[in-house]
């Protein structure tokens, strides 16, 4: 059975993570096959903390970006994926895969050059939801064959997923699969959970011209040529757990 590493970026979402820890406590029969790689995008008020029982039960590594800059999810994801050796389930803090569904992912036949997207559902009422483009199961080799995320978008909202999936398709030649019988749960805002799913203003003004320039550069140098020219990991970070 191939193991799976859960990867996520975190920013000022302690109540969401309480839900995560509760879900992970039900992983007792599969915890040997699941690892965690989490990165804190420089939270000031509520830095990411991990309960002792979660540390004891899982292969877990957490990181923290030292630069105080908005919208660094793509840096967080790249950093986590540098510490993944095989399959990774990339999630956001308001999504989680429960133990039953994770068991299905673990047991499911998987092949490299393929990504798999579980069906999202509302954890409160089971209603099926649209699939966000940034939540998927991928092999680390395929993630890096596509060049990972373009960190030029750090500092603003939007477009990093569009460039990533273009490279997944055109460079890594990875096929995307939608899983209709395996689910991931979305934890809606409201009730006891007050964290924003992605705290910050979702304004694409800063990143739109960058995206347009990236597309021009891809046309000039080719998708693979552009990937080889761009810069990554030019920032300070620290290992926390």
Distance of CA 7 to the CA centre of its chain: 5
pTM of the model: 0.95
Beta strands in the chain, from DSSP E residues, in sequence order:
4-10, 34-40, 59-65, 87-91, 95-96, 114-122, 136-139, 175-186, 237-239
Give the pLDDT score at 196. 47
Q: How far apart (Å, rounded) are the C-alpha atoms in residues 240 and 49? A: 9
Q: How far apart (Å, rounded) are the C-alpha atoms in residues 73 and 116? A: 21
Q: Which of 241, 237, 239 is nearest to 75 (CA)?
A: 237
Q: Which of 123, 126, 101, 90 is nearest to 192 (CA)?
A: 123
Give the pLDDT score at 188. 86
Give the pLDDT score at 184. 98
The DSSP result for 134-184, as a single string, is T-EEEEHHHHHHTT---GGGTTS-S-HHHHHHHHHHHTS-PEEEEEEEEEE
CATH topology (fold) of 4-239: Spore Coat Polysaccharide Biosynthesis Protein SpsA; Chain A (3.90.550)
209 burial type by CB count under 10 A (0-12 exposed, 13-18 middle, 19+ buried): exposed
Give the pLDDT score at 198. 52
Walk along the chain (241 residues) and give the pLDDT tens digit of each residue: 789 999 999 999 999 999 999 999 999 999 999 999 999 999 999 999 999 999 999 999 999 999 999 999 999 999 999 999 999 999 999 999 999 999 999 999 999 999 999 999 999 999 999 999 999 999 999 999 999 999 999 999 999 999 999 999 999 999 999 999 999 999 986 555 555 445 556 789 999 999 999 999 999 999 999 999 999 999 999 999 9
| Helix residue ranges, H only, 46-98 | 52-57, 73-81
DSSP structural state of residue 77: H
Strand 114-122 relative to strand 175-186: parallel, antiparallel, unpaired?
A: parallel
- Collapse the DSSP code of 42 into the 3-class scheme (helix H, G, I; strand E, B; otherwise coil) and give the result: coil
Q: How far apart (Å, rounded) are the C-alpha atoms in residues 17 and 27? A: 15
Q: Is the dihedral of CA 205, 200, 198, 194 positive or negative?
A: negative
Give the pLDDT score at 193. 52
């Amino acid at each position: 059975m191939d193991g799976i590493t859960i990867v996520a970026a975190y920013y000022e979402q302690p109540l969401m993570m309480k839900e995560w820890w509760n879900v992970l406590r039900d992983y007792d029969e599969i915890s040997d096959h699941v690892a965690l790689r989490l990165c804190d995008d420089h939270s000031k008020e509520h830095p990411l903390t991990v309960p002792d029982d979660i540390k004891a039960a899982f292969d877990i590594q957490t990181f923290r970006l030292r630069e105080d800059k908005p919208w660094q999810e793509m840096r967080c994801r790249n950093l986590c994926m540098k510490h993944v050796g095989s399959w990774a389930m990339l999630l956001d803090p308001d999504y989680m895969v429960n133990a039953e569904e994770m068991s299905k992912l673990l047991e499911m036949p998987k092949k490299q050059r393929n990504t798999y997207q579980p069906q999202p559902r509302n954890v409160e009422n089971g209603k099926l939801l649209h699939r966000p483009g940034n939540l998927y199961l991928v092999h680390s080799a395929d993630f890096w064959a596509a060049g990972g995320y373009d960190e030029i978008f750090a500092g603003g909202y939007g477009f990093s997923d569009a460039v990533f999936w273009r490279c997944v398709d055109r460079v890594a030649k990875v096929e995307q699969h939608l899983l209709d019988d395996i689910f991931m749960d979305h934890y809606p805002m409201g009730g006891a959970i007050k964290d924003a799913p992605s705290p910050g203003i979702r304004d694409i003004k800063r990143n739109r011209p960058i995206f347009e320039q990236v597309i021009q550069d891809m046309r000039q140098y080719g998708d693979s040529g552009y990937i080889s020219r761009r810069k990554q990991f030019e920032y300070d970070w620290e290992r926390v757990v």
